[in-house]
Chains A and B, each alone.
Chain A
Amino acid sequence: MAKIWNPEAECMSREEMHKLQSERLCSKIKEIYENVPYYRAKMDEKGVSPADIRSVDDLSLLPFTSKQDLREAYPYGLFARPLKDIVEIHATSGTTGKQVIAGYTKNDIALWGEVMARVLTAAGGDETSVVQSSYGYGLFTGGLGAHYGAQTMGAMAIPTSSGNTERQIRLMKDLGTTILCCTPSYATFIGETIRDMGLDISEFKLKAGVFGAEPWTVEMKRELEKLLNIKTIDVYGLTEIIGPGVGFSCEKECGIHISEDHFIPEIIDPETGENLPDGTLGELVFTCVTKEGLPMMRYRTRDITSITHEPCECGRTLVRMGKIQGRSDDMLIIRGVNVFPSQVESALLDITDVAPYYMLVVDREGTRDTLEVQVEMSPEFFSDEVRQLEKLEKEIYEKLKSALGLATKVKLVAPKSIARSEGKAVRVIDKRKK
């Protein structure tokens, strides 16, 4: 069983956690109210003052924040410390509008290292580990997040960043990388490239993969474990909160432990904003109680999941969240049906134990939405007989219909005809948005 980096924090009793969170929340809200005019205005508008927040149970009195607030306050409006204390900036890709700018103080960087060290330790890492960070380095939080975690743990960090895959693989082999950190889709690409290069995975020292930044299914996890001959854990995070390290799965694979001594999660009804009980699906909301640079207050992540406070067999008492069921903002609505790309992936993996590449093409014919699912042909399910391939198409169609509750058009396409990505996988082309 993998070690626990900070047992005092990760395994404390619920009572102790309640007390710690309450103390931290009260002082953080007071500080935010005093230092951030934007938050002060929001709290005044809702008629809540720092004195009303006496424990973590009062969290629901506070106003929500969203990406919209970050845009309005762009670039520095939500920073709670003067710029002279900010030592590093990260930002989101900004594909859906203005970039989100996150500022870190020295203590924030140390905090990031601490929570990422928890993740890497859960993956079996220690000071002897060789951690290859194949997330992008730069404004994206992935690369440096894994990097700081490795260094905090005392391991050796190899900052390969993403891309230049063959060179990465040579370094991985020659330097004896034991832990690979990247997106699951890039890990798949690395695994395929190792095979294409004619290398034998048993000649690598790789033991674990810490994958995240995009949704992946259990089936894909098993695939990757086989492909790279490793154990994998899931890392969760978002730039607004700190980057990767907000939460992680342990070897029990029963959800994602959230470092709630720093980031307090809530699940709310996305329509009404009401808090929902454990086990109920809703939108995940975070409040940062120790961060200094950008301490988000009840930040709405748009991630749909549920949480549970039951302790885990691994020994950690940290609250756990389930797999992200989708993001309310990348969820597709096709003929009134909610579709998450991950549902399509699960359905495809029901048919074959080999992960096929796929792409959803959404279009509109007249007023009718259409969903075409392109599936890449692979040697495993190719046949010289038309009826076998038509049967395969039919089988995929039926699976998707029962999984999505929607009729789709299934199209078998040539291998490698769907573009591979070295960052977040692109699974959807929505032609309706023109």
Chain B
Amino acid sequence: MFVKQISVFVENARGTLSRVTEVLAENGINIRALSIADTTDFGILRLIVQNPDKAVEVLRANEITVKATDVLVVEIDDQPAGLHKALSALRDADVQVEYMYAFVTKKEDEAYVILKSDNPQKAMAALTAKGVRVVPAKDVYEL
């Protein structure tokens, strides 16, 4: 049920990001969503890709530091309070959000939000109980 997110260590230096995209491109791996957390010296590039296992393998083979992390992809109604419904469910269940980012889908009235929480199991239960749809992994990879 969890979606495997790929996290990549990127030094703040010219060409490090394109090195990652180059490896993915060469291996025909499509990027579904991404976000970057940056600090002065380095960044963490977080990616949702079509084939995370293969992505990890090819990135490692190219000596890029990479890690797979379980995240939740939550479907949000594209209307006021859409995101609030999900976050309040997590707050009430005492689940912490480590970070989150959104991406657009091809559907018109829905948005997807990627959530990393301190307790993915509990987060999923809390969201489902409040009627928030957690998108199955295979649907995310095959968007």
| A interface residues with partner B (beta carbon < 8 Å) | 377-379, 382-386, 389-390, 411-417
Contacts and interface: CB of A to CB of B under 8 A. Distances in A.
Given A384-B7, A385-B116, 8 more contacts: A377-B11, A379-B60, A379-B67, A382-B66, A384-B46, A385-B98, A386-B37, A416-B63
Given A377-B9, A382-B9, A414 B65 contact: yes
Please report whether the interface of chain A is mostly helix, strand, loop or mixed according to DSSP.
Answer: loop
B84 to A, nearest CB: 24
Most buried by B among A379, A383, A414, A417: A414
A389 B66 CA distance: 14
Contact of B44 (A386, A411, A417): A386
B116 to A, nearest CB: 7
A410 to B, nearest CB: 9
Given A412-B41, A417-B11, A383 B67 contact: yes
User: For the complex, would chain B's binding face be called helix, strand, loop or mixed by DSSP majority?
Assistant: strand
A417 B14 CA distance: 13
Nearest to A384: B7
12 contacts: A377-B9, A377-B11, A377-B42, A384-B44, A384-B46, A384-B116, A389-B39, A389-B44, A414-B11, A414-B64, A414-B65, A415-B64
A382 B41 contact: no
Contacts of B42: 377, 389, 412-413
B16 interface: yes
Interface of B: 5, 7, 9-11, 13, 16, 37, 39, 41-42, 44, 46, 60, 63-67, 69, 98-99, 116
A411 B65 CA distance: 16
A197 to B, nearest CB: 13
Contacts of A378: 65
A412 B65 CA distance: 12
A415 B13 CA distance: 13
A355 to B, nearest CB: 16
B141 to A, nearest CB: 18
Nearest to A387: B98
B62 to A, nearest CB: 10
A414 B41 CA distance: 11
Contacts of A379: 60, 65-67
Contacts of A385: 44, 98-99, 116
Contacts of A411: 41
Nearest to A376: B65
A390 B9 contact: no
Contacts of A384: 5, 7, 44, 46, 67, 69, 116
A413 B10 CA distance: 8
Contacts of B13: 414
B22 to A, nearest CB: 14
A390 B44 CA distance: 12
Contacts of A383: 7, 67
B99 to A, nearest CB: 7
A382 B69 CA distance: 12
Which of A379, A383, A384, A417: most chain B CB closer than 10 A? A384
Given A414-B10, A414-B11, A417-B11, A382 B5 contact: no
A415 B67 contact: no
A415 B5 contact: no
Contacts of B116: 384-385
A361 to B, nearest CB: 13
A192 to B, nearest CB: 11
B65 A390 contact: no
A377 B66 CA distance: 10
B70 to A, nearest CB: 10
A414 B99 contact: no
A375 to B, nearest CB: 11
A378 B46 CA distance: 17
Contacts of B11: 377, 412-414, 417
A379 B61 CA distance: 12
Given A377-B65, A378-B65, A414 B16 contact: yes
Contacts of A389: 39, 42, 44
Contact of B39 (A386, A415, A416): A386
Given A389-B42, A390-B39, A412-B42, A382 B16 contact: no
A414 B98 contact: no
Contacts of B16: 414
Contacts of A417: 11
- Specify which of B7, B11, B39, B66 lies most central, judged by the most chain A CB atoms within 10 Å of its CB: B11
Nearest to B68: A384
A377 B64 CA distance: 9
A414 B39 contact: no
A389 B60 CA distance: 19
A386 B46 CA distance: 11
